[in-house]
Structure 1
Amino acid sequence: MKNPAFKIFIVEDDVWYSELLEYHLSANPDYELTKFHSAKDCLSSLYLRPHVVTLDYSLPDKNGAEVLKRIKEQCPDTQVVVISGQEDVATAVDLLKKGAYDYIVKDEDTPERLWMAISKIRENASLRQEIAQLREQIGQKYDFTNFITGNSEAMKRVYALLDRAARTNITVSISGETGTGKELAAKAVHYNSSRKKAPYVAVNVAAIPRELIESELFGHEKGAFTGALSRRLGRFEEADKGTIFLDEIGELDITLQAKLLRVLQEREITRLGGNSVVPVDVRIIVATHKNLADEVKKGNFREDLYYRLLGLPVQLPPLRERGGDVLVLAKTFLQDFARENSLGKKTFSAAAQEKLLSYPYPGNVRELKAIVELSAVMADGNQVQADDVVLATGADREAPFLAQEKTLRAYTTEIIQRFLNNYSHNVLLVADKLDIGKSTIYRMIQDKELKIE
């Protein structure tokens, strides 16, 4: 594909000299060159948005400083290279301060110097465009409807909450079982917020030894402890102006909870072994698989910190409650894995799909992804068969369903609801599969024990 034209205005009242510059610059076929012999003609054509203006400092109708000012006011992204017949250092410095990209004195080397300056300008413009595209891609990657694939009503409610969170700097507390995508949700909030150009820093509190967590979060000064050979900035300072994600916050040692509370209240930290107060501007998102309210009752978590962190609570549903999202996710994972590993196009057979829908996924989305990737490796042809889908069996499979003590009625309701979700809420089909009366299901729906989405 041909590169888009790079627009250059040559503003020079000397016709012969303007043609000389045009001749040299036309060696690059990507340059779209337009000559002007007066400031007035140039300024009236700025609506064309040139990338570069080569500006003769001594024009008959306006001086270079005035033209430069007008260009920068109307087209702030346009780069201006001033070309002058006089080597005046003071004038050059003044023009550079006012926004000129370069100041070139007219001599035999001018065309070559101009060529190099414009080449550098174009290179920088390409880098800025690439960065802008990458930022846009990041934004798309973590778009609320894409970061966790799914069309279920449960996920639509999550998307709506994340959208509200991204519009403000409110603290967000994300809860959900292991593998439901808590960090992806945190990234989605950050990269769709006003802080998306600032750092996103993730800290897994449970993965850091207790004796190191304070230094990890708040940093330390030289000599704060044995082995502290130099000052180290903590994760809060690294996340300044951005977002810090504290995963598994329920595992934070109770002695450090008071320090975290102070950071939330005062928006400042003190490095370990230091006395200086360091202000931080950080948006906080926390996540946990624990019930923090229960941890407060047990004395494991400070009540005042709990209410400070609660902010906007977002509960991520387990995969077993997301109905048909299982197949949507499975197909996405299969396509991605097959493409990344050059396995060709692969699909699931009807029996394989039914097998995937029958499983409760104690490890949630993370477990589904692992199951799908293994099935892609095990499949001999382009279609994944039921035997290629390896699921946990026995006690491991039953544990999530039987882990809590419930009444028989509650278990019955959960079983029927799961089948309704898996079979697109087809009451007649579910009644046949479970060998129960359809009137029983309809009555439970009417009594709001069951939900039809």
Structure 2
Amino acid sequence: MESYKIFIVEDDPWYGEILEYQLSLNADYVVSRFATGKECLANMHKNPDLITVDFSLPDYTGDVLFKKIRQVNDAVPVIMISGQEDISVAVKILKLGVTDYLVKDENTKEILWNAVIKVRETSKLKNEVVGLREELGQKFSFDKSIKGQSPALNKIFVLMEKASKTNINVSVSGETGTGKEVVAKAIHYSSERKRKPFVGVNMAAIPKELIESELFGHEKGAFTGAVARKTGKFEEANGGTIFLDEIAELDLSLQSKILRVLQEREIIRVGGNEKVKLEVRLIIATHKNLAEEVKKGNFREDLYYRIIGLPIELPPLRERGSDILILARHFADEFVKENKLTAIAIAGDAKEKLMRYNYPGNVRELKAIIDLAVVMCNGQEIVAEDISYGSAGNDENFINEEKTLRQYTCYIIKYFLKKYNDDVVMVAEKLDIGKSTIYKMIQQKEINK
């Protein structure tokens, strides 16, 4: 295990020696002791992992020294040790951002021992999170997360690069399955916020009565079932990026609340009064035309102008030409690797078949097609016969199956429910039928949802 550097700032030699001896019992700890705040600051270049500070030093009070430490290193944990038991002093110090506040008594050395263990474990977890985010940053770099070389995609890369260099809001539009969330993640992990959280929220997937609590959080007792405080998605994303997918599905009453959050840069949890300051980047996505939704009165015009920022419209897969084959090759290699199979080639007739299809489900559908083709192929090559588009796609045999109209209706609705992740409202809108019709067919088990 690597050594863990601890600074003890204590002007009482006897007490300082006790603390130094106690912590030095752990062979991993490298302990340095200083009698003044100035000595501590003069050694900050040694990059300590933790600092303990006596509140009453001959040159600085603990709060002043803490602020000076923060000017040099804004991340190192600081534990304040004080002979004062005044709770107001403790509250004042903790509000500054110190990691812990200990009162000097006969048990301090044991309490400090446990506090250091806790701080070290927390720092280790934070470093692991940073490491994972670095890995995600590499995974979601433009060239690794978005495959293709078509002119249509190259235009998107240019816009994404511009977005990653600033904090401008970004609105991503395009058909379902074109990769809107992948684009949002790539922008985040290529920006200065890459070490901060990326929080995605599918607005269409959250029940209307729960969405305010989900976005803004709630206090204990705010409503029946609120047994503890809940942190909302905006608060989780603080310092990073919040991605609001399918924002056009948001109820008008919630639209006004999101507008207020974006204008005031703060949220108030449901059932609470405390204002929580926000510094968050917004990326939104929708498969609908937001400008048209504004004209129809379904979306607030003031919110539209607040969130539209840099618009990025993703092209459907059918307009990306040979990107289809690049993606097919990528998905095949990915599936083979994940399932520990031997390498699979794609035959010429299979490539021709892939290029002829129009992919209503876009990239997401292509991945499903290739995954199945790898499973179905015999030997080490995917041929045309291994590629199946399903009877609701381009299958010419679909209309020749001689089903009843009711059976065809069930078949089509099942296809669209699968395509749109069981979103009944969206499917009803797409097929121009009543959502009650779909619910009734599900209830009567004509459709297995």
Common fold: TM-score over 0.5: yes
* Counterpart Cα distance in 1 of 2:81 and 2:111: 10
Contact 1:267 1:280 in 2 (8 A): no
Q: Distance in 2 between matches of 1:304 and 1:52?
A: 50
Q: Which runs of 5+ in 2 are unaligned?
A: 214-222, 227-231, 264-274, 397-449
SS in structure 2 at match of 1:33: strand
Check 1:290–1:352 CA distance in 2 against 1; reply closer, same or farther (3 A cut).
farther
Q: Is the 8 A contact 1:5 1:31 kept in 2?
A: yes
1:15-30 alignment to 2 at 5 Å? 21-30=19-28
Deviation at 1:216, TM superposition (A): 6.4
- In structure 1, distance between residues paired with 2:262 and 2:377: 55
Change (3 A) 1:200 1:16: same
Q: Contact (CA 8 Å) 1:68, 1:100: kept in 2 or not?
A: no
Structure-2 change in CA distance of 1:247 and 1:187 (3 Å) = farther
Structure 1 residues 75 and 91: alpha-carbon distance in aligned structure 2, compared to 1, 3 A threshold = farther
Q: Structure 1, residues 171-210: CA drift from partner, whole Å, max 9, x if none?
A: 625123x422234334545666788747532223xx79xx
1:344 counterpart residue number:
341
CA distance in 2, matches of 1:104, 1:305: 53
Find the aligned partners of 1:296 and 1:67 in 2 and give their Cα distance: 54
Report the alpha carbon displacement of residue 303 of structure 1 after superposing the two structures with TM.
11
How many residue pairs match? The answer is: 359
Larger Rg: 1
For 2:200, the equivalent position in structure 1 comes to 200
Counterparts of 1:139 and 1:112, CA distance in 2: 41
2:89 to 88, 93, 116: 93
Q: Residues 22 and 157 from structure 1, CA distance in 2 versus in 1: closer, same or farther, beyond 3 angstroms?
A: same
Aligned to 2:284: 285
Counterpart Cα distance in 1 of 2:258 and 2:51: 50
Map Cα deviations across residues 318-373 of structure 1 (whole Å, 9 max, x no partner): 323323423332233233323333x2342325547735654434232112211221
Contact 1:292 1:301 in 2 (8 A): no
1:225 maps to which residue? none
Q: CA 1:345–1:12 in structure 2 vs 1: closer, same or farther (change >3 Å)?
A: farther
Change over 3 Å in CA distance of 1:41–1:164 after alignment to 2 = closer
Tell me the equivalent position of 1:247: 246
Query: How high is the sequence identity, in percent, across the aligned residues?
Result: 33
* Counterpart code for 1:334: A
Q: Which of 155, 158, 162 is the aligned partner of 1:157?
A: 155
Q: Which residue of 1 aligns with 2:112?
A: 114
How far did 1:122 drift? Answer: 0.8
Q: Distance in 1 between matches of 2:140 and 2:392?
A: 36
CA contact (8 A) 2:8 2:20 kept: yes
Q: Please, what is the CA RMSD of the aligned residues?
A: 5.1
Distance 1:29 1:390, change over 3 A: farther
Q: Deviations over 1:249-307 (max 9, x none)?
A: 4xx69xx77x68867877799xxxxxxxx9999947342267976x999x797896998
Aligned partner of 1:32: which letter? V
**Equivalent position of 2:351 in the other structure:** 354
Match of 2:394, SS state, is helix
8 A Cα contact 1:190 1:200, kept in partner: no
- Give the whole-Å Cα distance in 2 for the aligned partners of 1:311 and 1:35: 52
Residue 335 of structure 2 corresponds to residue 332 of structure 1: no
Displacement after TM superposition at 1:57 (Å): 6.3
1:311, distance to aligned residue in structure 2 (A)? 5.8
- How many angstroms apart in 1 are the aligned matches of 2:87 and 2:210? 51
Which residue is equivalent to 1:436? none
State the distance in 2 between where 1:33 and 1:310 align.
Answer: 53
Residue 129 of structure 2 corresponds to which residue in structure 1? 131
Secondary structure at 2:178 match in 1:
coil
Counterparts of 2:381 and 2:276, CA distance in 1: 55
**2:394 matches 1:397:** yes
Give the aligned partner of residue 421 of structure 1.
Answer: none
TM-score, with length taken from structure 1: 0.59
Whole-angstrom CA distance in 2 between matches of 1:318 and 1:13: 69
Amino acid in structure 2 at the alignment position of 1:202: N
User: How far apart are 1:121 and its partner, in Å?
Assistant: 1.4
**SS in structure 2 of the partner of residue 89 of structure 1:** coil
CA distance in 2, matches of 1:384, 1:14: 77
> Contact between 1:81 and 1:103, CA under 8 Å: does it hold in 2?
yes
Aligned partner of 1:344: which letter?
L
Q: Which residue of 2 aligns with 1:439?
A: none
Per the TM alignment, residue 231 of structure 1 is displaced from its structure 2 partner at its CA by: 10
Match of 2:371 among 363, 370, 373: 373
Q: Post-superposition shift, 1:120?
A: 1.4
* Distance in 2 separating the partners of 1:101 and 1:239: 27
For 2:392 and 2:84, how far apart are their aligned partners in 1? 86
C-alpha displacement of 1:385: 3.4
For residue 449 of structure 1, what is the aligned residue in structure 2? none
